[in-house]
Chain A
């Protein structure tokens, strides 16, 4: 392994060590996610004033916008892990990339559904072919493609590496789709609704939004650690450390 990778990081990437590390951290991350999420919901649903234009419907942004951020953030994490997995062939990176995909797909799905539930009362339509919405939909298909390709292989590690390659292609694709749909909208004028005009957000609305963003980050880590632990058990089911966990019921 290259010298510039610190020793502790190298150690952490060994499956049993990461299994214990993730298991120790996960309850705390989940607690933090629930705590910050509850604060954000109280701030967003109760304390924040109603918007003078959108009334109470705007309160959907407290879950919609953090989900949209997460859908892109998780794709970024997945792409980075995929790159590491392909270049250095680290098993943990493969697992992180593949287990990020379902969480990212979940957040993308939430973004699309809450977005259309917000759009219907505000703009009178469930869906419009705007660059942002279309890119989000394409993102969902990319996530599903990665998940599908991963499961199409019988050999899990080979599937992970093929799907990691697809994830990297997808990273290039998303900005291109965004650009081309923008261009397409200039061609077909009048078919679009301007979704978000320049607006300033009141501080009473901003802090719940940022808190929810934090909560979703914590949630992502907690969920990812749970998924990675399960996957490591599956991948290493022949190894001694997994056998110890399976037989010793007191162990986490």
Chain B
């Protein structure tokens, strides 16, 4: 595809100002929609790991003899 036809393609018969924003909205909104739960999932797992670690630390502190030397 040469430069002229590519330019022609992007001009969209003079409707580029309407067409490309519409496609941009479509992709941006769906991208955000897809990303949001992944980020939330990462945060959830991090919090859960932190909680488990705190719990484990508390249990080892309560144990009468420390199993490993500091």
Are A and B in direct contact (Cβ within 8 Å)? yes
* Chain A hits for B41, CB < 8 A: 226, 229-230, 233
- Nearest B residue to A59, CB-CB: B19
Q: Which 4 A-B pairs have the closest CB atoms?
A: A56-B13, A57-B15, A230-B41, A56-B12
Q: Check A114–B29 contact: CB distance below 8 A.
A: no
Contact with B along A103-119 (1 / 0, CB 8 A): 10010011001100110
Contact with A along B5-25 (1 / 0, CB 8 A): 000010011110011011101
Q: Check A246–B48 contact: CB distance below 8 A.
A: yes
Number of A-B contacts (CB under 8 A): 91
The distance in angstroms between the C-alpha atoms of A29 and B21, with both chains bound, is: 26
Contact of B22 among A103, A113, A243, A245 (CB under 8 A): A113
* Chain B hits for A117, CB < 8 A: 18-19, 21-22, 25
**Would you call B37 an interface residue if the criterion is a C-beta within 8 Å of the partner chain's C-beta atoms?**
yes
Q: Check A233–B44 contact: CB distance below 8 A.
A: yes
The distance in angstroms between the C-alpha atoms of A38 and B21, with both chains bound, is: 18
* Chain B hits for A243, CB < 8 A: 48, 52
Contact with B along A85-125 (1 / 0, CB 8 A): 00000000000000100110010011001100110110000
Complex A-B: 16 CB contacts under 8 Å: A57-B12, A67-B26, A102-B33, A106-B33, A117-B18, A223-B33, A226-B34, A226-B37, A230-B37, A230-B38, A230-B40, A233-B41, A237-B44, A243-B48, A246-B48, A246-B49
* Chain B hits for A67, CB < 8 A: 26
A residues contacting B by CB (< 8 A) are 45-46, 50, 55-57, 59-60, 63-64, 67, 99, 102-103, 106, 109-110, 113-114, 117-118, 120-121, 219, 222-223, 226-227, 229-231, 233-234, 237, 242-243, 245-247
Contact of B25 among A45, A56, A113 (CB under 8 A): A113
Contact of B52 among A103, A113, A226, A247 (CB under 8 A): A247
- Nearest A residue to B16, CB-CB: A56
Contact of A230 among B12, B14, B44, B49 (CB under 8 A): B44
Within the complex, the shortest CB–CB distance from A62 to chain B, in Å, comes to 9
The distance in angstroms between the C-alpha atoms of A46 and B33, with both chains bound, is: 27
Interface residue total, chain B, C-beta cutoff 8 A? 27
Q: Check A121–B18 contact: CB distance below 8 A.
A: yes
Most buried by B among A117, A120, A121, A234: A117
Q: Check A121–B52 contact: CB distance below 8 A.
A: no
- Nearest B residue to A45, CB-CB: B9
Q: Check B30–A106 contact: CB distance below 8 A.
A: yes
* Chain A hits for B45, CB < 8 A: 233, 245-246
Q: Check A57–B30 contact: CB distance below 8 A.
A: no
Within the complex, the shortest CB–CB distance from B23 to chain A, in Å, comes to 6
* Chain B hits for A227, CB < 8 A: 37
Within the complex, the shortest CB–CB distance from A130 to chain B, in Å, comes to 19
Q: Which of B12-70 contact A (CB under 8 A)?
A: 12-15, 18-19, 21-23, 25-26, 29-30, 32-34, 36-38, 40-41, 44-45, 48-49, 52
